[in-house]
Amino acid sequence: MKFSILVSEGPYTHQSSDTAYQFAKAVLAKGHEIFRIFFYHDGVNNATRLTTPPQDDRNIINRWSKLAEENNLDLVVCVAAAQRRGIVDDGEMKRNGKDATNLAPGFRISGLGQLIEAGIQSDRLVVFGD
Amino acid sequence: MLHIINKSPYDRPALDSVLATGEGAILLIEDGVYAAVKGGAEENKIKGAMGKFKFYALTVDLEARGIADRVMDGITAVDYAGFVDLVADNKTCQSWL
Amino acid sequence: MTTKKFMMVNRKAPYGTIYAWEALEVVLIAAAFEQDVSLAFLDDGVFQLKKGHNTKGIEVKAFEKTWGALEDYDVTKLYVSQEALAERGLTADDLAVPVEVLSRADIGKLMEEQDVLLSF
């Protein structure tokens, strides 16, 4: 079965991104496919590579990047939500005249249409938020 | 359909809204698992709804909160694989954020 | 393109958090994708529709005009929980746009009919 996941909260403050990550792993372990994981609202903060948690804590961002690399996942960050919250890739840096980027590996910034497409293409879409 | 509740019943009234929808499966995750505790304020409401709804709670969230041994009868503890199965087995799911 | 039934379930009050506003952005995109879009307003979500928002003082964009624009996108299915209105001392007359007021049970039935439920 084809799953997609919407993550609506940032890392650490809410449990949602932890739950979404564990759920995604379980989906793959069960042999299902993940069409896309979409990050919206403060969920876009899951995609900043500048995060530095204490060494004895989980690194939520690296964990997503690794999961994406190992399973060839499509991690999409909503552009409008990202612009509001300062999540920037090369294209956004140039377009908006910023002086840095912070998008973590394995993520890409794109439009909300990607969420709707995930809803259309997937058998199930599960929302994790607060 | 599957209803996913992640809020403590002492914080937000998601459970009332879900029960009013009619029937289905309810999965308690994150702080939502506090509703599963025996002797808690929601016990009668949940027991009364068991004819129409099947209740599940995510084991790791129960364990994390030290309440895995306090779950009321009739609520099934599930792991993440069980969570995936519940989503797959129900045509739609609504997260009551 | 495949058309699916999308329902946006709004349960949060406006302004206190951004969810309601960003939910509206999803509604407009879903409509642009020519999906079968409906909106359900439950619990505090009904406050989003209250008439007469004046957000000058908090310097946040107001909702009211956007509700009117939904019709231009062919989004006309707005379902509001009767119980949520009553609990909050509101009636349909207090709302900025025409809606269909339904019991929570009837909205529950509509939820069952959807392909995708997006909750905000």
**CA-based nearest residue to C35, from C73, C3, C9, C71:** C3
- The CATH number that domain A2-128 falls under is 3.40.1260.10
Rounded to whole angstroms, the Cα distance separating C40 from C119 reads 10
pLDDT at A120 over 90: yes
Helix (H) and strand (E) counts in chain A: 5, 5
| CB of A14 closer than 8 Å to CB of A74 | no
The per-residue pLDDT for A33 is 98
Q: Hey, is C3 helix, strand or coil?
A: coil
Nearest chain C Cα distance for residue A119, angstroms: 6
- CB contact under 8 Å between A25 and B30, yes or no, is no
Extents of the domains making up chain A:
2-128
Interchain CB distance below 8 Å, B22 and C109: yes
Catalytic residue at A102? no
Residues in chain C: 120
List chain C pLDDT tens, one digit each, 120 residues: 789 999 999 999 999 999 999 999 999 999 999 999 999 999 999 999 999 999 999 999 998 888 888 999 999 999 999 999 999 999 999 999 999 999 999 999 999 999 999 999
Q: Rounded CA gap, B18 and B26, in Å?
A: 8
Give me the pLDDT at residue C68, please: 84
CA distance A115 to chain C (A): 8
Contact present, C79 and C47 (Cβ < 8 Å): no
Residue ranges covered by each domain of chain C: 5-119
Which of A52-56, B8-12, B69-73 is predicted least confidently?
A: B8-12
User: E-strand spans in chain B?
Assistant: 2-5, 24-28, 53-58, 75-78, 93-96
pLDDT in tens, B22-77: 899 999 999 999 999 999 999 999 999 999 999 999 999 999 999 999 999 999 99
Q: What is the pLDDT of residues A63-119, one digit of tens each?
A: 999 999 999 999 999 999 999 999 999 999 999 999 999 999 999 999 999 999 999
The domain segmentation of chain B, as residue ranges, is 2-96
CB contact C105 to A (< 8 Å)? no
CATH of B2-96, one of 3.10.129.10, 3.30.1600.10, 3.40.50.2300, 3.40.1260.10: 3.40.1260.10
Rounded to the nearest 5°, which phi and psi values hold at C21? -65, -45
Contact between C118 and A119 (Cβ < 8 Å)? yes
Tokens for B21, please give them: 């929808």
Q: Is the pLDDT of residue A130 over 80?
A: yes
Closest chain C CA to residue B93: C117
Q: How confident is the model at residue B12 (pLDDT cuts 50, 70, 90)?
A: confident
CA neighbor of A57 nearest in space, from A10, A104, A13, A12? A12
SS3 C73: helix
Q: Pick the catalytic residue: A24, A78, A82, A118?
A: A78
CATH architecture of C5-119: 3-Layer(aba) Sandwich (3.40)
Residue matched to tokens 């496919």: A33
DSSP state string for C75-109: --EEEEEHHHHHHTT--GGGBSS--EEE-HHHHHH
Give the tens place of pLDDT for each residue, A94-107. Answer: 999 999 999 999 99
**Contact residues on chain A for C38, CB-CB shorter than 8 A:** none
Min Cα distance A120 → chain C (Å) is 6
Nearest to B58 by CA among B86, B18, B88, B20: B86
